[in-house]
Structure 1
Amino acid sequence: MARIGSTELDVSRLCLGGNVFGWTADEATSFALLDAYADAGGNMIDSADVYMAGAEGNSGGESEEVLGRWMASRGNRDQMVIATKVGQLPGREGLSPETVAAAAEDSLRRLQTDYIDLYYAHVDDSSVPQQDSLAAFDALVRAGKVRHVAASNFATDRLTSALKISHEHDLARFVAVQPHYNLVEREYERDQAPTVEHHNLSCFPYFGLAKGFLTGKYRPDAAHVDTGAEQGAMGWARAKGARSYLAEDRGPRVLKVLDELAAAHSVSVSAVALAWLADQPSVTAPIASARTLDQLGEILPAAEVTLSQDELEALDSASR
């Protein structure tokens, strides 16, 4: 377990992504995935009000609804740490005080709970004065509807200014960030990580498996790769993004080291890639999702795998 920043919340070293619930994992499959994750000791689940608004037949909120029904049926709300987000759902875009307040009520209803553990601003909104948005988040914390607030996809200067405003005006401060970060996307280390570490924030990276590339599914010599057709337009886009890493020398280089370490530890390539990420300074837990129990079984060992310093350095070198 690991502590979220300066909060009282302890979470498992692997956060389960809820972006597949109600999309590529139907409700029965989602319940099975959540049961297996919890049985393995996992306790943190990441969702958003916009999941899965872009999927055919969905309008958004489906992930939260599935998660809410699961917790209600299992009676385990107090055992789970639930993160969700505001700012991108059609009709609830942006971070105006009115939107933040209304979106939180919608999420609470869908999640069938009276509090959210970690409430993210999903994206920055420069059209609204930061103090106004932060005051709206603070009001939710003071009302007991949100325990802590966080920032996803914020530029470092905007994160810094938000922390300064919260300090100066005694408002609830961001305790965590959610950036795009993995073995083949390392800009976070150079840009935002020093700020995150300085302010004792927690990092929960998304796309920890690089849209599937770090599962080892996409290979230079593969005659055929899954294009994501079964997932519709979003699946196609992710598959295209994953294949793009093959165009760089370091992509295959990283896969080669991952293969060696996966064999040495008797785990999947995915587990090694996530274990590397979990071991990075400021990272509390990487976020990864699974749409089948087999896929979940491949990522769960990431929370237990311990890579040696030599192994960490080998991956670091290969990914530069």
Structure 2
Amino acid sequence: MDFRHLGSTGLIISEIAYGNWLTHGSQVEEETALACVRAALDAGITTFDTADVYAQGRAEEVLGRALKGERRDGLEIFSKVFWPMGEGRNDKGLSRKHIVRGVEDSLRRLGTDYLDLYQAHRFDYTTPLEETMRAFEDLVRQGKVLYVGVSEWRAEEIERALRIADEMGFDRIVSNQPQYNMLWRVIESEVVPLCEREGLGQIVWSPIAGGVLSGKYKPGREAPAGSRAADPKHGHFVAGLTGNEALLEKVQQLEPLAAEAGLSLPQLAVAWVLQNSNVSAAIIGASRPEQVADNVQAAGVKLEADLLARIDEVLGESVKRDPALTVSPENVRGR
């Protein structure tokens, strides 16, 4: 495993992180989830990412049990807050009330007394950003949170948070967690330049595009049994990609390029995002331990410029680049 600093901070994290968005407490049985975490630890992964809303708290609980007994100082545990965790008017968003309650619940479920990174899971248009930033600052001062980050924020939203922190003397946010892969590059034109300038690192999710860049979805064929696309609960997350026959054809054309580099297609996809120097870590998920063992082989891989150019040539207009595609929900008021 190779390691990188989280942005310009002193925190060192594994450049491949393990995440449990659609797996723990939902897609796979706990025994398999525990085996996947063990495979991650055995491979040298020290950074684990989750969120309160994943399986409505169950993902945090499973991860807490999986990491029990590990040396806490040797791990970096990340979680997030924003999405509804109940039916109450204040059970969502980035108000002080929801943030304070959210971190206490996450710490309990994870079985730890602090989080290395606590992230605002989306931007909240209904709460003053100053209130949100002060609540996060208080958690840092209390030692419950070491660093604060955001997820899927636009460049102008990140910049506002940085300016408020500077004006009010708060610790700055240090990271952003966006979707980023060969097919989804919407952070490159605005978010990445801002973050490079201001010292934030990207902790990217879906480097394999929900499994689409693994090559397992073949054009004209049914989704493989046990895959995300075949899952009635989670298939909609990748339906727009797996239903695109032209795109699946292009993904198949990446297979020989991966082979030339001595990589599997999933390894190529993970290695591709790690070529971006603003990326601090790529989050992988897994429904089987073997997937973890395969994906981590992308750590430390250097891809040649010619190979990167040929990938772009194959994918062509299938790549999404418009920064406006980073969307924060505007319907969370409900108060």
Q: TM-score, with normalisation over the residues of structure 1?
A: 0.91
- Give per-residue Cα distances to partners, 1:109-128, cap 9 Å, x unaligned: 01111100010000110111
Deviation at 1:245, TM superposition (A): 4.5
Three-state SS of the structure 2 residue aligned to 1:16 is strand
Q: Give the conservation status (yes or no) of the 8 Å contact 1:21–1:66.
A: yes
Three-state SS of the structure 2 residue aligned to 1:35 is helix
- Give per-residue Cα distances to partners, 1:204-239, cap 9 Å, x unaligned: 11121112210101232x4322374763322x2034
CA distance in 2, matches of 1:319, 1:229: 21
Which residue number in structure 1 is paired with residue 210 of structure 2?
A: 211
The aligned runs of 1:259-298 (5 Å cut-off) are 259-298=255-294
Which residue number in structure 1 is paired with residue 105 of structure 2?
A: 106
CA distance in 2, matches of 1:179, 1:31: 26
CA distance in 2, matches of 1:32, 1:70: 8
Q: Give the conservation status (yes or no) of the 8 Å contact 2:43–2:293.
A: no
Residue identity (%):
35
CA distance in 1, matches of 2:115, 2:305: 37
Q: Give the conservation status (yes or no) of the 8 Å contact 1:262–1:272.
A: yes
The aligned runs of 1:146-157 (5 Å cut-off) are 146-157=145-156
Q: Give the conservation status (yes or no) of the 8 Å contact 2:49–2:78.
A: yes
Three-state SS of the structure 1 residue aligned to 2:256 is helix
Q: Give the conservation status (yes or no) of the 8 Å contact 1:212–1:242.
A: no
Is 1:82 the counterpart of 2:66 in the alignment? Answer: no
Deviation at 1:295, TM superposition (A): 1.9
- Give per-residue Cα distances to partners, 1:56-110, cap 9 Å, x unaligned: xxxx1111111111222x3322211111100013323100011101100000101
The root-mean-square deviation of aligned C-alpha atoms, in Å, is: 1.7
Consecutive unaligned residues in structure 1, runs of 5 or more: 53-59
CA distance in 1, matches of 2:276, 2:312: 10
Counterpart of 2:249 (choices 249, 252, 257) is 252
CA distance in 2, matches of 1:160, 1:245: 36
Which residue number in structure 2 is paired with residue 314 of structure 1?
A: 310
Is 1:193 the counterpart of 2:192 in the alignment? Answer: yes
Change (3 A) 1:237 1:166: same
CA distance in 1, matches of 2:37, 2:221: 34
Three-state SS of the structure 2 residue aligned to 1:261 is helix
Which residue number in structure 1 is paired with residue 233 of structure 2?
A: 233
CA distance in 2, matches of 1:89, 1:8: 32
Is 1:66 the counterpart of 2:62 in the alignment? Answer: yes
Deviation at 1:316, TM superposition (A): 3.2
Which residue number in structure 2 is paired with residue 2 of structure 1?
A: 4
Which has the larger helix fraction?
Answer: 1
Three-state SS of the structure 2 residue aligned to 1:266 is coil
CA distance in 1, matches of 2:185, 2:246: 17
CA distance in 1, matches of 2:245, 2:13: 34
Which residue number in structure 2 is paired with residue 56 of structure 1?
A: none
Is 1:17 the counterpart of 2:5 in the alignment? Answer: no
Deviation at 1:297, TM superposition (A): 2.4
Which residue number in structure 2 is paired with residue 36 of structure 1?
A: 39
Which residue number in structure 1 is paired with residue 222 of structure 2?
A: 224
The one of the two structures with greater contact order (alpha-carbon pairs below 8 A, sep at least 6) is: 2
Three-state SS of the structure 2 residue aligned to 1:284 is strand
Q: Give the conservation status (yes or no) of the 8 Å contact 2:118–2:145.
A: yes
Which residue number in structure 1 is paired with residue 297 of structure 2?
A: 301
Deviation at 1:244, TM superposition (A): 4.2
Deviation at 1:269, TM superposition (A): 0.4
Q: Give the conservation status (yes or no) of the 8 Å contact 1:49–1:89.
A: no
CA distance in 1, matches of 2:314, 2:130: 42
CA distance in 1, matches of 2:222, 2:162: 47
CA distance in 2, matches of 1:295, 1:27: 16
**In the comparison of the two structures, how many residue pairs are matched?**
307
- Give per-residue Cα distances to partners, 1:265-310, cap 9 Å, x unaligned: 4332011011011111311111110111222222121114321222
Q: Give the conservation status (yes or no) of the 8 Å contact 2:149–2:176.
A: yes
Three-state SS of the structure 1 residue aligned to 2:306 is helix
The aligned runs of 1:107-126 (5 Å cut-off) are 107-126=106-125
Which residue identity lines up with residue 39 of structure 1 in the other structure?
A: D
Deviation at 1:135, TM superposition (A): 0.2
Which residue number in structure 2 is paired with residue 183 of structure 1?
A: 182
Which residue identity lines up with residue 6 of structure 2 in the other structure?
A: I
Which residue identity lines up with residue 196 of structure 2 in the other structure?
A: E
Q: TM-score, with normalisation over the residues of structure 2?
A: 0.87
CA distance in 2, matches of 1:41, 1:261: 27
Q: Give the conservation status (yes or no) of the 8 Å contact 1:83–1:117.
A: yes
Deviation at 1:172, TM superposition (A): 2.0
